[in-house]
Chain A
């Protein structure tokens, strides 16, 4: 049962344009959501997070939007840069006694120069 889904395995965007990565979840007990960036042969690096009490969180070029009714979150990167090319994972966590982070399958972003 895939509780966190990233339905787009890959995405290509021109440098300077907006990258939008999407993530859906099924478990309504999740109340904390995170995005990680991963380069090959490296560990995931934390990018940005959002609590379920918010619908938007912004950090520099990165903004995460949360739509609780649709159980959907998205990561916007503006403007996209070639160095943003990586695999992006969304993750979800719940505070109901366990804090494990459940990850999606990832979206490979390629920013074209």
Chain B
């Protein structure tokens, strides 16, 4: 158990809809990262938050947005969903700060858009 909790584990929704994925980081971790993995491809970095503020942005679509709340949990919002958005979405957390440390991943949310 990595200590990172993602909900829900599975989500099936229709095209055009909006969904929210939730992530609770490991206790004490200030950084949260979101990744997308499509069809057994690599992990595509979407966005990072550190202590409530956006720290880095990757190839995140404008239809997607995220935020990190004061209790450090994070939500990834996906709107106007398309079939191609079907993927595994992973959240990871790390201590953050100035020292490089490893990131720990949650079990992922499998999103299926039909």
Q: Which residues of A contact B (CB under 8 A)?
A: 31-32, 34, 36, 41-46, 49, 51, 87, 89, 91, 93, 95, 98-106
User: Known: A43-B107, A46-B102. Is A103-B35 also a contact (CB below 8 A)?
Assistant: yes
* Chain A, residue nearest B96 (CB): A99
B69 → A minimal CB distance (Å): 20
The answer to whether B100 touches A99, judged by C-beta atoms less than 8 angstroms apart, is: yes
Can you give 5 A-B contacts (C-beta < 8 A)?
A32-B100, A44-B90, A46-B102, A89-B42, A99-B94
A44 touches B100 (CB 8 A): no
B105 touches A44 (CB 8 A): yes
Asked whether A89 lies within 8 Å of B100 as measured between CB atoms, the reply is no
A101 lies within 8 A of B103 (CB): yes
| Contact yes or no, B45 A102, CB < 8 A | yes
Whether A98 lies near B2 (C-beta < 8 A) is: no
Q: How large is the interface on B (under 10, 10 to 19, 20 to 34, 35 or more residues)?
A: 20 to 34
Other contacts beyond A45-B2, A103-B35, A105-B41: 9, CB < 8 A: A43-B4, A43-B108, A46-B104, A95-B98, A95-B100, A100-B45, A100-B55, A102-B45, A103-B42
Q: In the complex, what's the smallest C-beta–C-beta distance from A109 to chain B, in angstroms? A: 14
* B12 on the A face (CB < 8 A): no
- Quick one: which of A49, A98, A99 has the most chain B CB within 10 A? A99
